Amino acid sequence: MSEPLRSLISRWREDPGGTYRSWFLWEERLKNFRSIRRGLATVVEEIEKGTFGNVYKGSSLETVVGSVSEQRQIFKGADHAFLWKPKLRIPDIYESPENQRAFGRFLSACACCGDGEGLVAAIRALDERKIKGLGPAAANLLYFLHPTLMPPFNTAIVNGYNALTGAKVKLGKWEEYLAMREGVLRLNATHRELLSNDLGAVGGLLFDIGSGRYAPPPGEEDVEARAAWEADLAKVRTEAAGARKAREAAEAEDLTHTEVQGWLRDLGAALGYDVWVAANDRGRRCGTGLLGDGCLAELPSVVATAPGGEAVRLIDVLWLEKGRAAVAAAFEVEHTTSIYSGIVRLLDLALGAPGSATRGLFLVAPDRREEDVWQQLARPAFRRVADLDVRYLPYGELERHREAMGRFGQGLKAVQAVARRLHP
């Protein structure tokens, strides 16, 4: 099966509608890793302090799992396993304090592990408690902690793995997940040059097979089936036009995101600030040049090395006092991505970097997303947001007033005037 499978993987990598191009190579994907990890740390901290509570809705766990489920099609529905089902009393980590603490210890142990053996040991320790309703769907959280060690897990991925390997992995049991993990690691090692060290790639391949986008290669002895399979594989390529349009639409959304970053970059420079653009966005095309043109090449060390400094480097735009290591304002542009991830990065800055002016924290989003912003900011998990005066800056207000602010504005007053407070 090796050569046919290599052919399938190669064509899958070129498919604009497949998970490789639409999700795995999606630039926003990597930003969410740090935010989700930070969110899981908050969950663990609240469980340890006894402040997590006994409900899912509005909790820090709902926030972080919701962010996972927004990771495009491969993780759609990832939050279902954690939703409280009152008739079944599952998953039993809300009503049982002991089970909740065991779940917290599991997440903490996995976050601290540096190898696969430690992760497997943590899984087995959790599995021994037989917590009702808490199964290997939690592996999706582990993927964001250790993407090179733990593959994602859902029905389509299991179906794809079984179809490709002839295995009979079932949902719902950790031992089944661990058995599948061994096979996925072997499969990934065999075809690593076409996949990645990040197991999200092979997970995406299995997802597309399991969801029916691609059929697995038939056995070599079945000539007719092999010919039909190759014809089906070729058909997928001819149907790529519609998927390509969808990808172009997604790229257009990314372009809008970049355009707004460019507005903020130019406005900050006009107001006399040094400007930092997110480290992974600096090379994007913007106007006739690059987004990072005229911006700081490095963050001041006191900011970069502060707690949460790695996340701060990914904040979309920072304004710093001219020639000083002091952040005057921070802007997270949330065009289509989860509002949650932007809030977490702003909190990392406000609570970690010394000398940061908390009066200048802004979520910049389309006017149509205003309700999304308020819903996220009102979550109990973000109760510190109101104290830090994080504000919502709509695209429309920024577009209408940015030129006047740049010509006649002074400091942050003009920006604050058009931004909206959480508690007016």
pLDDT tens digits for 45-75? 999 999 998 888 888 999 888 888 877 778 8
pTM for this prediction: 0.61
CA distance 353 to 306: 5
Residues of the chain where predicted confidence (pLDDT) is lower than 70: 1, 219-255, 336-338, 353-359, 381, 383-387, 422-424
